[in-house]
Structure 1
Amino acid sequence: MDDGLVEALIAHPPMARELPAFDPAAAPAEPAGLFVEWLRGALAAGVPDAQVVTLSTVDGDGLPDARVLVLRDVDTTRAGWVFWADADSPKGRQLAGRPAAAMTVYWPALGRQVRIRGEVTAVAAPAALNRSPGARAASLVGRQSEPLASAAEYDAAFEAALAADPALPVPGHTVYTLHADSVEFWQGDPRRRHVRLRYRRGADGWDRTLLWP
């Protein structure tokens, strides 16, 4: 045990700041609209990388895996959270084997967390998908998570990809949508009076339940 670390953690308690209120009674009947409201609030508050989420999947051995990626859109009519990935990346292969995932978002400045679970569908990304030149080049390079001999090897491949025809489609680039069947909103409170509201998809729409924090 690192006594110094323990003392440092105790000296910096989480949620020890002013945080926004959340009235679950005023929450909408479906979760995607509330998520967009919270995301817009995080963007307006200047939360860095507010659109970055953690995607969790399971590999062929049943072991969990997680990584951060960029949320690209939210389909509020069908409760779908959209992200892009290479179908041949580790997450793409895992989703092909088990098309379900969990997504976690945390905005520290606001003390807000959202947890989403559900099935995942995939479609090939259109060639005209709006990506920055750097993001497009990184996708063309591919070979995500494979061993790399040196940074120079990557730099050479990246520069070659930057010079490629912009109309050239990116092989394997895929648009994924996480279709939520459960969404949980968590609002932190400095007095530890946290608020948790869970939505679950039912036969006739969404059921909302207030949970113990």
Structure 2
Amino acid sequence: MGLAVKNAFGGHTRISQGYITVTPAEERSLYLEAQRGAIVSPGGFLEFSVTKPGARVKIGGQTLDMPPGSLIRLTIDEGGKGKISLRDGTIVLFSFDEVILSIDGEEVARGTTQDILVPGYEVLISNINLAIDGGKGDVRILESGLPSSLVPGESPLFLSSLRPDPSGVLTLDCYREDTTVFRGAVTSYRVE
């Protein structure tokens, strides 16, 4: 690691080795079913590398190929309601109104995603967050298959960094006004 510092009195550089330990983000397997609406926060994205041929997405009325080896980023620009489904190393659903598609760092399309198929991907990164409305609707949360100690009552909930669980499953349906279903993993979840 290198750190360079400079101010009106001059500059100094210090180089050290072995002082930083990087650990993966905490991951919690979660199943959530709520009789409440929810929205995905603006700016959340799903990023991955395509590993198999045949990957394509229909966005803004045009169908685009995503060749093997390409780095893909799907950014949910304005947030809102939608659906996601990843299973068995395949992305079969990513449906939101305002999405930006970037391939290898270059924005290539923008609009509503209507159809997607990615038959193989690796190195998936997600910073998609989900805000679940407060209210009287029932909420059921299972963490690693067991009832969660978090009891939201009528308070809103917030799920951070939605991603596939250890079995590779990520499903989200927050399209309807009064029902939200999520299965996957998160880095954290809390009452707001």
Q: Which TM-score band applies after superposition, normalised by the shorter structure? A: under 0.3
Output the TM-score relative to the length of structure 1.
0.26
TM-score for the superposition, normalised by structure 2: 0.28
- Select the structure that is richer in strand: 2
Q: Identify the structure with bigger relative contact order (alpha carbons < 8 Å, sequence gap 6+).
A: 2
